[in-house]
A and B are shown apart, each in its own frame.
Chain A
Amino acid sequence: MTESAVIVTEGLKRCFDDITAVDDLDLVVYPGEVLGFLGHNGAGKTTTVRLLNGVLTPTAGRAEVLGLDPSTHGAELRQRTGVLTETPSVDERLTGYENLAIFAALYNVPAGDIDRRVAELLEIFQLTDRAVDRVGEYSKGMKQKLALARALVHQPEILFLDEPTSGLDPVITRQVHTLIRDLSQDGGHTVFLCTHNLAEAQRLCDRVAVLEHGKLVALGTPSELASELWKGVRIEFETSLAALPTAVGVLDNFLDVRDIHHAGDDPVISLSLNLRDQVPDLVASLVEAGVPLFRLTPKEPTLEDIYFALHEKNEAVTV
């Protein structure tokens, strides 16, 4: 297994009757990184988290998390990981303080440290004022923050977050994002972020893994994935409506221009070139043809572009 990685899986597979939830998953996660685990509902994200924490056993393949085999050392491993489940799973009859203190005991936090640790977390998550209120009286955002605090109560080395901002309002979402970034950058935690929120993944993740029907279809930084999908550089320029036909004519005659895109009466055109060095030549050709250029910018593909391109590619292969 790969040196220094905190999570390594080789051919990991889990079936439920005739459904394959996770299929031949090869994955490596390094310490301190935020890995976005992307996929639509039912892609196998939650099952992977369960396999990596030893609460489900694999049908085939193997995993190593923090040097331990989850299927044989589950309890020992879970002492070192924290999991925020998709539903907050907090006990609504208990107070915020009780929820955290009881889980601190379950995670073997020394009895003498529990009060201090719980107070610290309540403070970080701005729940101190509501610590003695029953969680049933909390808002959805507060419950989510409490669940996140609970996942951190034992200072885990790896934090698994399953849709951490699902259903939260923008203010709470931003707070949760800040917390995740702080955990990774200042706290040195490795974060395994399961999400189908692509903007969230773009904002937070160092690398992303894309899962489709239980299979890993891509793994890398967004720019690595983009360069695998689209060779060369993609640029976008704005001209006038009147010059649009001339501009398109120039592009049609220019060598190595691909994927020209412009929408109807929108004077903005995007295109791909094989090499970055071809950009000045293209600009010169456009100017020479009398095409006014109001703006020209490199167009980095967003994670959303990458995700849907991968999805389409995978669907095409499947068909």
Chain B
Amino acid sequence: MNWRSIWAIVRRDLLAVMRSKGVMLPLIIVPLIFMIILPAAFGFLTPVIMELPGANMPDISLFLDQLPPALLAQFEGYDLDQMMVVFTLVYMFAPMFLIIPLMVASVVAADSFAGEKERKTMEALIYTPTTDLELFTGKVLSAMFPAMLVSLVGFLLYGLTANISAWPTMGRIFFPNAAWIILVLWVTPGTAAMGLGATVLVSSKVNSFQEANQIAGVIVLPILALVVGQISGVMYFGTLLTVLLGVFFWLGGGILLYLGVRTFRRSEILARG
């Protein structure tokens, strides 16, 4: 493997991504909404809403009572306001956090693989002395790096927002817990790999950034299932589940990337183009 060539591809793709409004806008707006605006709103407003005369306290208590016992044990010593804040900001947002690496990896990969075909810039790369594997690795890394960077920055901002906005209710730093650390360090790269792998496969069949992005968007369904599963009390983001989720995403991502690298042949790309 010629790592100098691989880094040249990474540098090229990252420069191109940073200069594209179509790519950069979702990379800024989605994390802003999920990592700052929504948690800030929940953190600040939860105690206010709970104090409103119309707030249905029995229903909220009933909802919390239906949560898995292991999760309820985590709320030991919290009052109702604090339980709602912790449930929302620590558990509810955990699956939503995974949308970030998934989305960033997908958008950048769609630009890097399908977008390159659309802009007809792939052919020049194909005539370079890089091997198919080096080209593929360079393109995968150029989507992986922003996915990890945006996720890590998003996590730090989320931590700050959650702790600051919920300070009046919690009175102490309550975020992150162990599951979130595992989520960020273990599940996030796996999720990015899965989004990336799905987009690479889709990109081999389509000829535009938009098409690739829209079709690969289906990969968000497992994340939505996690959100629903947690709200309905079927599961919660404990340490074990988070570790297992990481295994699932890494496996899924690995398989999709393996299939992707098998389809990434310059002769095939030219024949299709």
In B88-130, the 8 Å CB interface with A consists of: 119-130
Whether, in the assembled complex, A209 has its beta carbon less than 8 Å from a beta carbon of chain B, the answer is no
| Number of A-B residue pairs with CB-CB distance less than 8 Å in the complex they form | 78
Residues of B within 8 A of A79 (CB): 129
Nearest A-chain residue to B271, judged by Cβ = A16
Partner of A55, one of B5, B16, B20, B266: B266
Residues of B contacting A90 in the complex (Cβ-Cβ under 8 angstroms): 121, 124
* Chain B binder among A97-105, A260-268, A274-282, A301-309: A97-105
Within 8 A of B (CB), among A75-92: 75-79, 81, 83, 85, 87, 89-92
Q: Is the CB of B129 within 8 A of A75?
A: yes
Contact partner of A102 among B2, B12, B120, CB < 8 A? B12
- Which residue from A57, A75, A87, A93 sits with its C-beta under 8 Å from B131? A75
Query: A91 touching B121 by the CB < 8 A rule?
Result: yes
Q: Which residues of B contact A107 (CB under 8 A)?
A: 128-129
B111 → A minimal CB distance (Å)? 10
Q: Is B255 an interface residue (CB 8 A)?
A: no
Smallest CB separation, B23 vs chain A (Å): 10
Closest residue of chain A to B111 (Cβ to Cβ) is A93
Interface residues of B in 243-257 (CB under 8 A from A): none
Are A98 and B15 interface neighbours, CB within 8 A?
yes
A150 cross-chain contacts in B, Cβ below 8 A: 124
**A87 lies within 8 A of B270 (CB):** no
- Contact A94/B15 with A78-B128, A79-B129 known, Cβ cut-off 8 Å: yes
A251, CB-defined interface residue at 8 Å: no
Asked if B19 CB lies within 8 Å of chain A CBs, one says yes
With A55-B266, A57-B267, A93-B15 already in contact, the answer to whether A103 and B128 are too (CB < 8 A) is yes
Output the nearest chain B residue to A79 by Cβ-Cβ distance: B129
* One of B2, B7, B16, B120 near A94 (C-beta < 8 A): B16
- Contact between chains at A85 and B119 (CB < 8 Å): no
Contact residues in A for B7 (Cβ distance below 8 Å): 105
A177 beta carbon closer than 8 Å to chain B: no
Contact B126 A76 (CB under 8 A): no
Give CA–CA (A271, B128) in the complex, Å.
51
A87–B19 CA distance with the chains assembled, in angstroms: 22
Quick one: given A50-B270, A93-B15, A102-B12, are A147 and B129 in contact (CB under 8 Å)? Answer: no
Minimal beta-carbon separation of B255 from chain A (angstroms): 27
Q: B5 to nearest A CB, angstroms?
A: 5
Contacts of A111 in B (CB 8 A): 4
Q: Looking at the assembled complex, report how far the CB atom of A21 sits from the nearest CB atom of chain B, in whole angstroms.
A: 10
Docked CA distance A81–B266 (Å): 17
Query: Which residue from chain B places its CB closest to the CB of A162 in the assembled complex?
Result: B123
Residues on the B chain within 8 Å of A83, using CB: 124, 127
Q: Does B8 reach chain A (CB closer than 8 Å)?
A: yes
The yes or no answer to A53 lying at the interface (CB within 8 A) is: yes
* Chain B residues whose CB sits within 8 angstroms of the CB of A92 once the complex forms: 119
CB distance from B139 to the nearest CB of A (A): 13
Inter-subunit contact A105/B4 (CB<8 Å): yes
Produce 1/0 per residue, B219-232, CB < 8 A to A: 00000000000000
In this assembly, does A108 line the interface, its C-beta being within 8 Å of a C-beta of chain B?
A: yes
Interface CB pairs A-B, < 8 A, 15: A55-B126, A55-B270, A56-B267, A75-B129, A85-B127, A87-B120, A90-B121, A91-B121, A94-B16, A98-B12, A98-B15, A102-B11, A103-B128, A105-B5, A106-B129
Can you list the 7 inter-chain pairs with the closest CB atoms, starting with the nearest?
A105-B8, A89-B124, A79-B129, A83-B127, A93-B19, A78-B129, A106-B128
Give the interface of B toward A (CB within 8 A).
2, 4-5, 7-9, 11-12, 15-16, 19-20, 119-131, 266-267, 270-271
Other 13 A-B pairs with CB < 8 A, given A91-B16, A106-B129, A106-B130: A16-B271, A50-B270, A56-B271, A78-B128, A89-B121, A93-B15, A94-B12, A98-B15, A102-B12, A105-B5, A106-B5, A108-B129, A134-B19
